[in-house]
Structures are given as structure tokens and as C-alpha cells.
Structure 1
Amino acid sequence: MKPYIILLIIGFCLRESGSSFLFSTISDECSKRYYSSTSFVCVCNSSYCNFDGSLLPFEENQVRVVKSSQDEFLDIIINVNTTIRKQSIHGFGGAVTDAAAIDIKSLSQEAQNNLIKMYFGPQGSRYNIIRVNIAGCDFSVRGYSYDDIPIIKQAINLSSEEIYIFGSPWAPPAWMKTNNDIGGDGQLRKDMWQPYADYLVKFFQMYEDNLGVQLWGFTPLNEPLVAMNRSDFPGNTCVWFPEDMRDWISTVLGPTLEEEGYSRLILMIYDFNRLYLESYVEPILSDPSANHYVDGTAVHWYDDDILGPEGLDNVHNMDPSKFILYTEACTGTDGEDVALGSWDRGEQYINDIIEDINHWSTGWVDWNIVLDQYGGPNWEDNYVDAPIIVNTTADEFYVQPLYYALNLFSRNVARGSVYIHSDVNNDNIKTTAFVNPDEEVVLIVANLISM
């Protein structure tokens, strides 16, 4: 049997109890700022940031161990079966929203460079997916701007591989909706089906031809049922039921993409929580005409703490040729908006990523990569947390446990890696495993017991 190189990633509750701190190789020292006895962030500015070291080569029959704490061990048995191979991984990343762009640009140029390197550079998290909002979203301060373009171009230049960029619209223009309002529970008027498809094509043309940024894919609408029966819903939204989405894709959108030369773009449907996942996706995937144009299903994490992952399995089984990708997640939607240095929130990320990947997700895309100290700006006052928080008056930014939670995956699981089966003899231990393109086995282990 061929020997495997194993990269073992161990996350012990994501809590500090020793000198090692979620860094995969020799790393710069974290400049810690405490917010409680165990809650801290790593402070970065224009002159300093704690980048990861370069990944060091090693030989067969060696194990490289990355862990979040020292001197804590459990007696567990983990089985990894490299012959049970499932989905291929697209990657990991986050959204460069208007708010993220505004906050990044509030820093000096040197601090901006350090922040973008933390996400996209070879000594950072190596993000390889970016989500952008098509026109306005809640994390905007006005109708829309393209402040994100210079940041995206810098990320592309830093990355050692192609960055998959996909767009998501929050709503059609108000005049295309039945309620003539950007918010509320209005739907896309049926006489606007073609104009809306043309509207999306114009965005693709503008992004690629005018701004020089190549797109990988898109979703037709963010959270199509979030405002259902909510006429007072304040934000950019549009109610779009699955049967209408099916018919629009098969008769309007798909043919338009082919005619305009954009059929190469990856089309992901749904882009919402687990709650309506199966009932929304089934009418679309079961229709041959619509199915022909669909590449995958986009899912958000906001119901994951109350609904199990079985729906992901069921959607995969509807058509195994279509992938599932998690496209939005954030903490702070309940309780404290920004909880600086929260290890509990980092633990939530790791637990969810492992569960989603173990149930067919091909990657995981965070919400805003950067926000300010209040969790904004957000014109709806819908403030939340982010992996990096910018202090807009001190020219510094705070790297949170949320960042290092995602970093475990994005830095160590390469695009094209294949998920392999793993199991463990302890319900409080979560595992997921991969074979990287270079045949390196990556095993990620999370201990959810506070020790």
C-alpha cells in the first residue's frame, strides 16, 4: 500500500493554554490584546502582522502536526479510509462587500496591504473564493459602488492560484418588482423576467470587460424566501418561489446566458438556509430543462444549529453531479454584534465547517471578510461579527479566532483535494479528512470538550 504523508490539524477547543496558537509552521508572534482572561485578538497595523510561515516540505512517512494548544491530550482512536473518496473541494473564502471595502480603505496603505496578505497571500489564509454583491446589499452605505474592485485585484495578484469570484444579487431594481420597492415581500414581475436576465448579463459584462475581473459564477438571488409574508422587510430582497425560479432558469436565464456567451459561468441555485433547502431545490433539479443549466446549490449556515445535515445528503442524492457549496456565514446575528477575541465563535465555525464538508459541501465561504468595531457599516443596522475587525481611527486591525478557525481549512486544504472518510470513537471529537492533489492526507480534528 502506498505510504501517505499526513498533515494533522488539531483544534483543542480553540482556547489558549500554551504557546502554540493555530499556526501551521514557524510564524510571527501574535501581538495579543486581551478582552477577558482568555479572550484576545492579534493586533496588526501598518508595520507588523503575525503572518504564517511558509509551508515546509517533508518526506513520506512523516506527520506534520498543527495544534491550537499544548499539553492537552485525549485517548481517542481515529480511523481514516483513503479508499472512500467523495466530493472534490472548490475552496474557502469570504465576501468582499461594500462594507468590507470601506473598512479596508480606512486603513493606511501599508496596513491595507498587511490585511489583504493575511487573507490571500502565501503566508496568510490562502483564500481562493470571493463572493461579491451584485448591486446593493445590507452591508452597503448607498445604492451601490465598486470600491471593492482594487481590493479584489490586489487579492488576485497575491494569490498563487485562480480566485473563484461569484456574484449574488440581493434584489432586482425596485421597478422590476410587484411592490415597486427594493424591500418587502414583492416578487419579480413576470414581464420583467427577460429584463432581469439582461440586467445580470450587464453586470457580468461590466465586471469582466470594463473592470477587468473574471467571474467564476453567480447565484440568481440571495435568500429568495427571507422576506416571504414580510411586507415590512426593510432590506434589499425579493421573494422568489422555486417553481418560478425553475421556469425562469429554463426559459429565460439559461438561453440568455448561452446567447450572450456566459454559459461558462457556474450557476448556483437557492443561496439560503437549510430550512427550505430540499423543497426549494427539488422542483428545479427534477426538471430536465432547468437542471441542464444548474451547476450546484448554494447554502447558508443560519439554521445549522437547529437543523441537522440530512438535507444536504438528500440534495446531493437528487443529482450527485451537482455540487453543494456553503456561501454565507457569520456570528453576531444573535446577542453581541462584535465579540472581540471570542473563542466560542471560532469553535462554532470549525464545528459547522466540519459538519458541512462531511455532508457533501465542496467548500465554505464566510460573509464579510472585514467589518469595523461596531460590525458595520450597514444601512439596515444589521451589525454582525467578522474574522477581522478594523479600528478605523487607530490604523490597526484585530485578527480574531474566527479567522484562525477558517485558516485551518483554507490554508491546509488545497483546491482539488478530495474528501475521504474518517471517524472517531468519541462523540465530542469532530474530524474531517482529505487527500490533497499531491497525495498528502490532511486530517482535521476538533476537540469540543473544554479541558
Structure 2
Amino acid sequence: MFCKILLVFCLSFSCYISDANAGSSECLPRRTKYGLVCVCTATHCDYLENPQPNDNEVVVVSSSKEGLRFAVSNLRFGENSTITKSNPLGSSAEEKEEFKNAAVIVDSGQTFAQLLLNTTKILTSRLTSNGPLELQVDRAVEYQKITGFGGAVTGTVSYLLELLDQQLQDHIFKSYYHKDGLGFNLLRTPIGGCDFDMAPWAYNEEPRDDPKLSNFTKLDPHDELKVAHLKRLKSVSNLDDLKIMAAAWSPPPWMKSNGVWSGFGVLKTEYYQAWADYHLRFIELMDAKNMPIWAISTGNEPLNGIAFFFFVHFMSLGWIPKNQAIWLNDFLGPTIRNSKYKDVLIFGNDDQRFSFPTWFNRMNSTRPGVLNYLDGFAVHWYWDEVFAPSLMDLTLKQMPDKLLLNTESCIGDKPWQTHGPELGSWERGEQYAVDFYII
């Protein structure tokens, strides 16, 4: 969640950040029906040297719909600047693109991150305006600390990576997770299968009715492949501290009231402890592979198995706040906190904004004090255009000691949207940026 402020600031300047390396290289342009993209191959990928501002400066890295790619310019605090950059990837070699940036800073001693955080209205209006940008900093106002930036590794990601040679895989890993690239440090991965897998699956599908999880003694080949990819990611990205968050979509069907992967189904009460042990077992097995789990959640989108089963046909497990409070307070919380892995963070809800803060208030009314087991809240973005960000403000006002992470967002989930990538789509980038900034 916290990283997204930077993305919007960049977009306000038509900016995208690419992987950094020892040197820069030219973009290999390709036009698609949605826009212009730079092609990355095993032997060539466009990189950007990591520009560093001098004292009293802001470095702006700009891209445009028509072809500017990572054009670097420097702005000085207290000065109005107009910069003209050539647009070599535009419709003609002679085409120029002029853009104006103004920086009027009240306190130039403020850090760059703090400077960005004080510009909500200005940056939002900047998305639809070509006027100058005025930044004013109030040192007395403090905001959240940044937990990190991240992406996801699912079964589909592993499948697609295996279709590429090692050089291309390395480009992908470095572009996202190298400290000179996007610098991601968070990663979400499913426990078992998810809707971004080739088929539904879970640990200990057989034997059935087995609360001791006797067949859950090693990682499944699906996860062995993920671990291999994550080890390579950490190696080529020089990343030691990869914060992995794990979340389960569904237990094996024999634990569920409906006995199938999706539909209206909840966890059978006789398996409450087994489902808690299931999470701990995954943490143990990942740690044995030198892939420690930083955090887990109480389960992906619990309302899918209760309220939205007519529309959701992928793996799910339904919860209502009352039952989830009992499971967290009496089973999952004690199981994790009384184990070797007591410091693993637990995030609650992992669902849409419209369930905040009511979900947690109802949990607490069932088991007073249950929220003490939660280190933070996980939220998804899919109906944010309908439900206001004030719901998140209210949640954090009630429980200011909790972390807040946006753990899932993608485009193409609605029936009227393209189900898949739109390579070069500026509009999709703007949707991400605007939504992330106003979370």
C-alpha cells in the first residue's frame, strides 16, 4: 500500500521506473493496439542508470504515451523549470515533447518521501492537467512508514517463467527486485493453489478426513518450483531480506462444508485446529528451504465463499466475522504465537475495502481481544471505484497500531474488461496509480 504514493508521483510526470544496471541501453520500441512498449529479449533489455539528485534537487524520470522513455531531468527547489526533451520513439524523428514542471518548496530540508506525501490534491489534479506542479511541505505533519513494495509469485507465474530461458527470467527478477531496479522487497504467494494457478490444489488432499495432516510432510512440486525461482530471484537481485507473505485460498475439500473447491462453503468446526496446523506446517517447510515466511493472512477473500459464490468460481473458503474470530482467537493465533515462528505477522481480512472496519468490529464483539493477534490489515482494490477510501481512514483511526497492506490488485477481472494484458496501455497504468494513491 505505502509504495503506491511514489507511483502516482511518477505518473503525474508521465513517469515509469525501469530496472537499473551498470549502464543504460536504448529501448527497442514496438507498437501494440494499446500503446508503445519496449521489448526485452535475452540479449537486450533497456536499463536506466539510477539517477541521484544533488543537494536541493529533485530528479524527474519521464515517459510518455508517444515515446519518451526514462528521460531524466533535474529540478531545483524554489525554481520554475521548463524542460524540452526529444521524443525519438514518437511518430517522427523530429517530434519534440515539451512538458513543464515547477517545484516551489517551503522546506527544502524535508526528505523526498515526506515531500511526496503532502501533495494529495495537487498530484491527483496533475493527472488531468498540464499545469505546473507546486509542492509544499509541512514538517509538522507525519504519515505512515513505508513497509515495502511487492508483487506475487503464483503457480501461473512459475509456469510462465519456465517457458523462458534463464537470461529472460533473470531480467524479470532484476527488473522488479534488484535494489537498482524497482527495488521490491515484498512478495505474496498462496498456500496451496489459487485463482492464478493452472488447476485447483491443496496440501493433504489425500487421505481424507485426516486432521493430523499425515501427508503434509514436504513441499508439493508446485512449491518446490516456486522456491527454485525465489532462490534465483534473491541471487540475481542481491536481495537477502525478502519478505514473503503467504495466504490460503482453500483447504482440501474434505475440510469444507460443501466438499468442493468453490461455492458456498465454510470450514467444518472439527477441522479448526487442523486448518491452523496447516498454516504452521507450510511455514515450517518453507523455512526448511531457507525461505522464511514474514507474514500470513487469515485467508484470501473470505466473502467469496459466503456472499459472492454465484460469481466466484475459483478456490475459496467462506468466513463470517464471528466464525473467523473464533478460529483466529482459539486456534490460529495460539498455534502461531506458541510456536517457534511466533514472530510471523498475521494480517486480517485480505478482502475488499467495503468490509472495513465492520469486519473487525464484529470479530472483536465475538471474541474481545481477538484483534491483538493481528499485526495488520490486508485489503484488495476491486471495488474501490464504488467504496470510498474513508473506510480505510476510519479503520486506522480505530486501530492506529496496525499495519495496512494492499495485497492484491489486477485489471481484467470485470466482464467488460480485457481478460489479460493490454501491453502499452496508459489507461491501465493510470487506474493503478490513482487507486493506489487514494487508498
TM-score, structure 2 as length reference: 0.73
Whole-Å separation in 2 of the counterparts to 1:140 and 1:156: 23
The aligned counterpart of 1:72 is 99
Secondary structure of the structure 1 residue equivalent to 2:50? coil
Whole-Å separation in 2 of the counterparts to 1:181 and 1:23: 43
Whole-Å separation in 2 of the counterparts to 1:261 and 1:23: 39
Whole-Å separation in 2 of the counterparts to 1:270 and 1:252: 16
Structure 1, residues 178-233: CA drift from partner, whole Å, max 9, x if none?
A: 11112111100111100100111111111111x22011001121000023245564
Larger Rg: 2
Whole-Å separation in 1 of the counterparts to 2:418 and 2:287: 39
TM-score, structure 1 as length reference: 0.71
Whole-Å separation in 2 of the counterparts to 1:196 and 1:149: 23
- The unaligned stretches of length 5 or more in structure 1 are 1-5, 15-19, 357-451
Kindly tell me: are residues 234 and 11 of structure 1, through their superposed partners in 2, closer, same or farther at Cα, counting changes over 3 Å? closer
Match of 1:297 among 368, 371, 377: 377
Query: Which structure carries more relative contact order (alpha carbon 8 Å, separation 6+)?
Result: 1
1:113 aligns with 2:170: yes
How far off is 1:151 after superposition? 1.5
Kindly tell me: are residues 98 and 131 of structure 1, through their superposed partners in 2, closer, same or farther at Cα, counting changes over 3 Å? same
Structure 1, residues 304-355: CA drift from partner, whole Å, max 9, x if none?
A: 1121100000110121001111000001123112212110000111111211
Q: Is contact 1:134-1:170 (8 Å) kept? A: yes
Whole-Å separation in 2 of the counterparts to 1:159 and 1:9: 27
Kindly tell me: are residues 23 and 197 of structure 1, through their superposed partners in 2, closer, same or farther at Cα, counting changes over 3 Å? closer
The aligned counterpart of 2:226 is 148
The aligned counterpart of 1:84 is 141
1:317 aligns with 2:379: no
1:47 aligns with 2:43: yes
Q: Is contact 1:224-1:239 (8 Å) kept? A: yes
User: What pairs up with 1:243-282 in 2 under 5 angstroms?
Assistant: 243-282=322-361
Higher strand share: 1
Kindly tell me: are residues 202 and 159 of structure 1, through their superposed partners in 2, closer, same or farther at Cα, counting changes over 3 Å? same
The aligned counterpart of 2:306 is 228
Match of 2:427 among 344, 347, 350: 344
Whole-Å separation in 1 of the counterparts to 2:342 and 2:167: 40
The aligned counterpart of 2:27 is 30
Choose 225-234 or 141-150, whichever is displaced more. Answer: 225-234
1:238 aligns with 2:317: yes
- The unaligned stretches of length 5 or more in structure 2 are 1-5, 65-96, 101-130, 203-221
Q: Is contact 1:23-1:67 (8 Å) kept? A: no
Whole-Å separation in 1 of the counterparts to 2:340 and 2:321: 25
Match of 1:163 among 218, 242, 255: 242
How far off is 1:24 after superposition? 9.4
The aligned counterpart of 2:151 is 94
Kindly tell me: are residues 181 and 55 of structure 1, through their superposed partners in 2, closer, same or farther at Cα, counting changes over 3 Å? same
Secondary structure of the structure 2 residue equivalent to 1:44? coil
Whole-Å separation in 2 of the counterparts to 1:261 and 1:288: 26
1:202 aligns with 2:259: no
Structure 1, residues 262-313: CA drift from partner, whole Å, max 9, x if none?
A: 2211100000111222221222356543122110000001011121100000
Kindly tell me: are residues 223 and 274 of structure 1, through their superposed partners in 2, closer, same or farther at Cα, counting changes over 3 Å? same
Match of 1:215 among 289, 293, 299: 293
Q: How many residues align?
A: 343
Whole-Å separation in 1 of the counterparts to 2:165 and 2:19: 28
Secondary structure of the structure 1 residue equivalent to 2:348? strand
Choose 290-299 or 27-36, whichever is displaced more. Answer: 27-36
Q: Is contact 2:19-2:182 (8 Å) kept? A: no
Whole-Å separation in 2 of the counterparts to 1:7 and 1:46: 27
Kindly tell me: are residues 66 and 240 of structure 1, through their superposed partners in 2, closer, same or farther at Cα, counting changes over 3 Å? same
Kindly tell me: are residues 340 and 138 of structure 1, through their superposed partners in 2, closer, same or farther at Cα, counting changes over 3 Å? same
Q: Is contact 2:187-2:245 (8 Å) kept? A: yes
Whole-Å separation in 1 of the counterparts to 2:243 and 2:166: 25
Kindly tell me: are residues 7 and 205 of structure 1, through their superposed partners in 2, closer, same or farther at Cα, counting changes over 3 Å? closer
Matched residue type, 2:58? V
Choose 325-334 or 46-55, whichever is displaced more. Answer: 46-55
Matched residue type, 1:340? L
Whole-Å separation in 2 of the counterparts to 1:175 and 1:7: 43
Secondary structure of the structure 2 residue equivalent to 1:87? coil
